[in-house]
Amino acid sequence: MACKPICVCLLVTIIAGAIVGGILFAAKSMNKKGVEPSESHKHNYVAALKIAMQFFDIQKSGKLVNNQIKWRGDSGLKDGKEVDLDLSKGMYDAGDAVKFGFPLAFTATMLSWTILERGQRMGMEGVDQLQKAKDSVKWITDYLVNAHPKDNVLYVQVGDAEKDHKCWQRPESITDNKPLFQINTTAPGSDVAAETAAALASASLVFKKSDPPYSAKLLEHAKKLFIFADKYREYYSVSLPQVKKYYNSTGYGDELLWAASWLYHATQENIYKDYVVGSEAEEFADWGKPSWFSWDNKLAGVQVLLSRVYFFHGKDNTKLAKYQKSAQALMCTLLPESPSATSDRTNGGLIWIAEWNALQHPVAVAFLASLYGDYMEKSDNENLECDEKTFKSEDLREFAKKQADYVLGDNPNSMSYLVGYSKKFPKFVHHRGASIPADATTGCKDGYQWLESTKPNPNEATGALVGGPFMNETYIDSRNNSMQGEPTTYNSALLVGLLSSLATSSQSVVTSLG
């Protein structure tokens, strides 16, 4: 889990039909031993993308439809019944059986972002992943809509995390009613409400053509949630201290601007544009200070996406110029040959920020770098100026590629951190469902025999991106090593974005913000 200063996040101009060109690598078939890199390329990004997409099916709660994961079954069917709501859908965040609304909404936003940028015929659709991605988004947004029964009420967690983390059992085995946690006017949460608004607004663009009524429904909820988030300002982890240990929020300014930006993109209504370039931007933008991108901090994503607007439509806007300069500073930080290159990386070249979930940050910034490079190239902005040195869009793509390649096996351990890719990947993933045989009957405590087992997981958590290596590039493949070995849905969403970028060549259609 990552820290964030109170900052902004601004996402503005991803066009619902705008997407990518030529597929670079051909997919190979998958098998239990994993996928081999193709002969003509060191790593097969399309094959890796197809593998990564499977983790969302593994994480689903509810009544499973066309279930392709043999060791998963229905779970959480009673969630929300005590308040007459159907909260059975959604996804478990990691290796547990809790639905945390804050990172879950971010997962949906990131998947929607990827679909909007990389989804069409020559992108995800061309490798048969677009519909799967849309289905994963909808599984989350169906849940988020139901979790918002009133304008100023949002259920933000299903399950007692303290109790859940003291048990080791499959979600399918849990029969107790799970406690529900909500924010409201007396216990608000601007961060989670605004992130949920961003998720629903971005998803409304995903479904705008294929399902207009559903798109309109998502957008209406997004608007109401944004009003709630902005009017009643507070950290949700202050209102609900129970979440602080797991997904503590360190700011809400970024989510407010992130949500407003998505809403402007989805509606073209000036009220949202005025918000993101007005006094709130002055308060929350923190221009000129590069920051890392994560479920808790959207500022870097905002800077890159507003740079897109600047490059194509807004060079006369001084606020957009500030965002572009901030994004440029971040890009210079990432490139190892830049005078301002960060030292926060391993000897093998992986950006490394935190012990917990170490791969989140490098995958996230690599995705941003690939997009920023595309925007430079398509807008004929050839040069990236980093003090006295000049770089090209190809340098950013090469950086993104090296981060992805590290994840896929080009590291001192010669291990793919994406489960199912290549011959060597983690076999003791910290994941309850993967570690317990599907036919085992366990309660809360007797399931610990599977946690403590010295045998590899009986079920492969295909598509899981584990937490990753330590700064010294060691990785301990142990089921008890949750710091390094626990996967998350939001990591997978970020990885899908990165792999989609590398598996395709951007031909994005850029339009005016109005």
Reading the chain (514 residues) residue by residue, the pLDDT tens digits are 333 333 333 333 333 333 222 222 222 223 333 444 433 348 999 999 999 999 999 999 999 999 999 999 999 999 999 999 999 999 999 999 999 999 999 999 999 989 998 888 678 999 999 999 999 999 999 999 999 999 999 999 999 999 999 999 999 999 889 999 999 999 999 999 999 999 999 999 999 999 999 999 999 999 999 999 999 999 999 999 999 999 999 999 999 988 988 898 899 898 988 888 889 998 998 888 889 999 999 989 888 877 877 888 778 888 888 889 999 999 999 999 999 999 999 999 999 999 999 999 999 999 999 989 988 998 988 899 999 999 999 999 999 999 999 999 999 999 999 999 999 999 999 999 999 999 998 889 999 999 999 999 999 999 999 999 999 999 999 999 999 999 999 999 999 999 999 987 544 433 333 3
Q: Token pair for residue 237?
A: 């982890």
Q: Please tell me the distance from the alpha carbon of residue 429 to that of residue 419, in angstroms, as a whole number.
A: 9
At residue 121, the pLDDT reads: 66
Mutual angle of helices 253-267 and 190-206, in 10-degree steps = 20
Mutual angle of helices 393-408 and 318-334, in 10-degree steps = 50
C-alpha 31, offset from chain centre: 26
Q: Please tell me the distance from the alpha carbon of residue 325 to that of residue 218, in angstroms, as a whole number.
A: 33
Alpha helices in 119-269, H assignment, sequence order: 130-146, 161-164, 190-206, 212-231, 236-239, 244-247, 253-267
Q: Please tell me the distance from the alpha carbon of residue 1 to that of residue 356, in angstroms, as a whole number.
A: 6
Strand-pair category, 384-386 with 180-183: unpaired
At residue 9, the pLDDT reads: 33
Strand-pair category, 99-100 with 384-386: unpaired
At residue 513, the pLDDT reads: 34
Q: Please tell me the distance from the alpha carbon of residue 508 to that of residue 371, in angstroms, as a whole number.
A: 10
CATH 1.10.3720.10 fits 45-503, yes or no: no
Helix (H) or strand (E) holding 386: strand 384-386
**Burial profile 306-320: b = 16 or more Cβ within 10 angstroms, e = fewer:** bbbbbbbbbeebebb
Q: What single-letter amino acid sits at 22?
A: G
Decide: 493 and 107 in contact? Cβ < 8 Å. Answer: yes
Taking the domains of the chain in order of start, what are their residue ranges?
45-503
Which of 43, 221, 265, 430 is catalytic? The answer is 430
Q: How many CB atoms lie within 10 A of CB 82?
A: 11
Determine if residue 392 is left, alpha or beta; phi over 0 gives left, psi from -120 to 50 gives alpha, anything else beta.
Answer: beta
Tell me whether residue 75 is exposed, middle or buried, using C-beta atoms within 10 angstroms of its C-beta: 0 to 12, 13 to 18, 19 or more.
Answer: buried
HSE at residue 512, side-chain half, CA atoms within 13 A, is 2
pTM above 0.75, yes or no: yes
- Helix, strand, or coil (residue 168): coil
Is 431 in the active site? no
SS3 of 2-22: the string is CCCCCCCCCCCCCCCCCCCEC
